Every structure is written in structure tokens, then in C-alpha cells.
Structure 1
Amino acid sequence: MAAILYRAEIMGMYVDRGGSGDPVLLLLHGLGATGTVWLELAELLPRHWPGSWVIPDLPGHGRSDPLPRYTFGALAAAVAEAVEPGRRIAVLGHSLGGAVGLALASGWFGVQVGAVCGLGIKVRWSPEELARSTELAARPARAFPTREAAVERSLKIAGLTGLLAPDSPLAAPGITRGDDGWRLTLDPAAFAVGAPDMPGLLTACRAEVILAAGEHDPMSPREHLLALQSDPVTLPALGHNAHVEDPLALLDILDRLDG
């Protein structure tokens, strides 16, 4: 497992750190996941990234506290607290984390992002999909009778079924045990974040932007990304969680983020 040099909670947000110096690589997970999805990639960073790295659990996920209200701006403002002012930053964010990275790269949150990659961002949403997200956000947190049932649900929501073993330590932060049984650590209200305004985020972004997705990602097909960027990166033979399926496939993107 990657060497974690520093671990802390910053304003209720759980953060892992490693490496040293600039540039800082900020790795942001997707909806329903936790920062542990990046740890296998972090194992590669001593040989492939010249500076340090920061991996938070986004608010309302894993070991981080919830927010009163979930918006891309609110998530970006929270993430900004995990990075020291004045540092040179590159962002690699998956799905929800990619949209948060784009918001962070606007410069509105007190950090300066030089490059950002949005991996597997869902850029087109149907009215039915948005209604479903609103419905999920309004549901109370569910208790499960067994750890196995809770892990199964946690992995399904994050799109990690079959990619992480239910007994993997990387899956553990997604669940917790309470008096009434096992629960997901995901705050259901996080589903209310909805669809990102991609044209608006890209217009406001002050950083170099890379849009990328797995070749077989049903949530972020290449034709959707082509409507936003002329040269999105396609990762051959991979799906929505490409960073978990094959961390080595992201090394070319890291080279581009380092400039």
C-alpha cells in the first residue's frame, strides 16, 4: 500500500497525503466512493509523479463529515481547505470528483490549479435520471442487517462491484456499524448535487483541461465528450472506474498534468 506520510481531518474532512514538494496532485473520487479508490494509483506515484499527493474523502463520503447542502461549489470550497495556499496544483478527479476539480480550477476558492483531468464525468443527464437522483437524496439512510449486505450496496452505488472484493480494506470506509445495524457512510443527500453545468465549468476554468473516459464507460461515452472537447482521452478496454480497473492506464494523463 502507498506510503501515507500524513493523515488528518481538516474541517471535518478526512485526508491522506504522501510525497513531498510541488506539484501537488489532488485526487478526487466519484459519488459513493471514498479516497481509497486512488491508493493503488498512489503506489505508482513515487516513480511517476515528481511532487506530493493529496487524497480526501469528499464531504458526505467515507470518513468525512456531511455538508448542509451539496453543490459543486460547496464541495470545491471544502476540498480547497485540504491544499496549502500558494502550492502548484494538478487535479485528477473521477466522475463527481472531476466536476469538482473543474469548479476548483475556476480560481474562486483560493487555490491555483494549473491542470485538471475530469475522468468519466457524466455530462448528459435525462429528466428521469435527475428525478431519480432527487428521489435518492430524499431517502433516509438505510440500515442493513449484515456487513455483507451493506458492503454490497456501497460497492454497487460506487460502480465498484466486481472491482473491489467485499472484504477488501479499500471497501471498508464505505460502511459503518451502528446500534441498528450496518449503514453506508455516504450521506444520501449528496445525490442532490445533480448534473454539472459542463459548458459553464469549462468556461470558468483557468487551467488546462483534459476530459477522459474508459472506452466502455456507459456514463461518459466519447461522443458526449467530443461535444465539449475536440481531443478527449479514451482509455482502451476500460469502463467507468478506469482508475481502479487499471491504474497504469492513467500514467500518460499524469504526464500531461505535470506539464
Structure 2
Amino acid sequence: MDTLNMRIGGKGEPAVLLLHGLGATGAVWDHFAVQLDRRVLVPDLPGHGPSAPLPHYSFATLAEAVARALPDGGPLVVAGHSLGGVLALELASDRYDVEVAGVLALGVKVEWSQDDLNRAASFAAKPPRVFETLADAEQAYLKVSGLLGIAPTDPAGLRETEGGWRLALDPAAFGLGAPDMPALLAGARCPVVLAAGENDPMSRPEQLRALDADAVTLAGLGHNAHVEDPAAVRALLKRFGV
């Protein structure tokens, strides 16, 4: 049976579903979520934090796991960062029986070289690395999630194991491959906002504009713009009446 950890709080519709990126946990949205005066749903994606791993990772299997864990209710506005942005677009199709009223896809990596894909596949094939000290594991968590210097480690992102500490992240999740962004955008059944930080090395604003001329550039921000400046990213949700 699937076990997906989900934080639910607040009141007001439409609810907002917040999807984190690869290597992080739902805690990455903590300072963002408190700015939303409505019901907020924040899962830890499969293979992250306390959520159970999947036997096979694809954008579809991840989206299915999230969809199954959602409480019954009205429409959702979905904000996703990086991998979470891809999953937000997946959910916005008509394949998951989820009513999505709007999608904010933030910091999605849309261009993948063969080297990028090979490196990700190599990570996916390796067993979890064990660190002798908790401090070393915390540093590794922050590096993998891109949060070094801008956020604390989420303790749920680490696991004590024989010989020390490891990341809770299932390495197999790295094997997702590249998303088909044109198809995802074409298949979305709701308004979509693409956005990236001006200084995001993974999701260049010009790459997003090649997909959508109205893609938003967030001045002075990097890959984790929702952590660096929650208010700037939160303002984009107002386009969906949130």
C-alpha cells in the first residue's frame, strides 16, 4: 500500500497543492505556505522524507501517487518547483481525475544534454551513500536539494542507518529522464504560468520563453526562488485568484 506523507492545513478554496523538487521535502514550502489564506496541501513526494519509495519512477507514477493521496474536494491550484513543476503539469492533464484550476511551474529544467541524462542515470544506479556524521549528511541534503546557504536541513530528509546517516531520498528517483515540456504544456487543461529566477542555472528564463513567450523572470533570484523570496513567488498565484 502506498504511503505518502501529506501536510494539510488552513481553510479556503481553491486549495493550493505545493510540490517540492527532487531531493527536497515538503518543508521547503514552510515559509511560502504561511502566506496563503486558504487550504494548503504539501506532500513529501514518493522516495523523499518519510514517504515510501516507488518500485519504478516516472513522471506519471509520481503524479499518480500524489493524485491518490489527495483528499476529496474541489479544484486545486498547483504550484510546483523543478520536478514538482513537471508533476503539476502532469496533474493538469485529464489523466489523473484531479480538477486543476491553475499551475505555477517554477524553475523547471527544460533542456537536458546527454551528459545531464547520463549523470542522473549514474546517480540513480548507486546505493545510498552513508555519512559518518549527521553534520556531513545535513550538508549533503542541502547540496542535493539546492538549499545550501538559504534554508536549514529538514530532519525528515535524513535517516539514521548502520554506520552513520544517509539521505532519505531514494537514489532511483534520479532516473526520471527529461520531461516532454511541449507535450505537457499542450496537454494542460488550465492556465499555466512558467517562471524561473533570473539567476537560475538550471532553468534559464530564455529557455522558458522559447516554450512560452509570457514566462516570468523573477529578478535577482536563483533556482529555489520560493525559498529566497516567498512573497515574489506567492504574487504569481494571484493570477489564479489565490
Determine if the TM-score, normalized by the shorter chain, exceeds 0.5: yes
Matched, 1:69 2:60: no
Tell me the CA shift for residue 205 of structure 1: 1.0
CA contact 1:218–1:240 (8 Å) conserved in 2: yes
CA distance in 2, matches of 1:116, 1:251: 12
Q: Letter of the aligned partner of 2:16 in structure 1?
A: L
Structure 1's consecutive aligned runs of 4 or more residues displaced over 4 angstroms after TM superposition are none
Matched position secondary structure for 2:35: helix
CA distance in 2, matches of 1:44, 1:113: 21
Deviates more, 1:197-206 or 1:119-128: 197-206
Unaligned runs of 5+ in 1: 1-9
Q: 2:196 aligns with which of 210, 213, 229?
A: 213
CA distance in 2, matches of 1:122, 1:152: 23
Residue in 2 that maps onto 1:37: 28
Residue in 1 that maps onto 2:84: 97
Tell me the CA shift for residue 84 of structure 1: 2.8
Deviation track 1:172-209 (CA, whole Å, cap 9, x = no partner) reads 11111122210100000000011111011111111111
CA contact 1:117–1:257 (8 Å) conserved in 2: no
Q: 2:183 aligns with which of 200, 211, 224?
A: 200
RMSD over equivalenced CA pairs, Å? 1.3
CA contact 1:120–1:212 (8 Å) conserved in 2: yes
Matched, 1:227 2:210: yes
CA distance in 2, matches of 1:245, 1:225: 20
CA contact 2:64–2:96 (8 Å) conserved in 1: yes
CA distance in 2, matches of 1:33, 1:135: 19
CA distance in 2, matches of 1:88, 1:257: 11
Residue in 1 that maps onto 2:168: 185
Tell me the CA shift for residue 83 of structure 1: 2.1
Q: Letter of the aligned partner of 1:249 in structure 2?
A: A
Tell me the CA shift for residue 165 of structure 1: 3.4
Residue in 1 that maps onto 2:2: 11
Tell me the CA shift for residue 86 of structure 1: 4.5
Tell me the CA shift for residue 93 of structure 1: 0.1
TM-score normalised by structure 1 residue count: 0.90
CA contact 2:17–2:78 (8 Å) conserved in 1: yes
Residue in 1 that maps onto 2:235: 252
CA contact 2:104–2:237 (8 Å) conserved in 1: no
Tell me the CA shift for residue 110 of structure 1: 1.1
CA distance in 2, matches of 1:72, 1:127: 19
CA distance in 2, matches of 1:60, 1:194: 16
Q: Letter of the aligned partner of 2:176 in structure 1?
A: V
Q: Letter of the aligned partner of 2:46 in structure 1?
A: P
Residue in 2 that maps onto 1:3: none
CA 1:31–1:228: 2 relative to 1, 3 Å: same
Matched position secondary structure for 1:99: helix
Aligned residues: 242
Unaligned runs of 5+ in 2: none
Residue in 2 that maps onto 1:25: 16
CA distance in 2, matches of 1:218, 1:256: 26
Residue in 1 that maps onto 2:44: 57
Matched position secondary structure for 2:30: helix
CA distance in 1, matches of 2:173, 2:241: 31
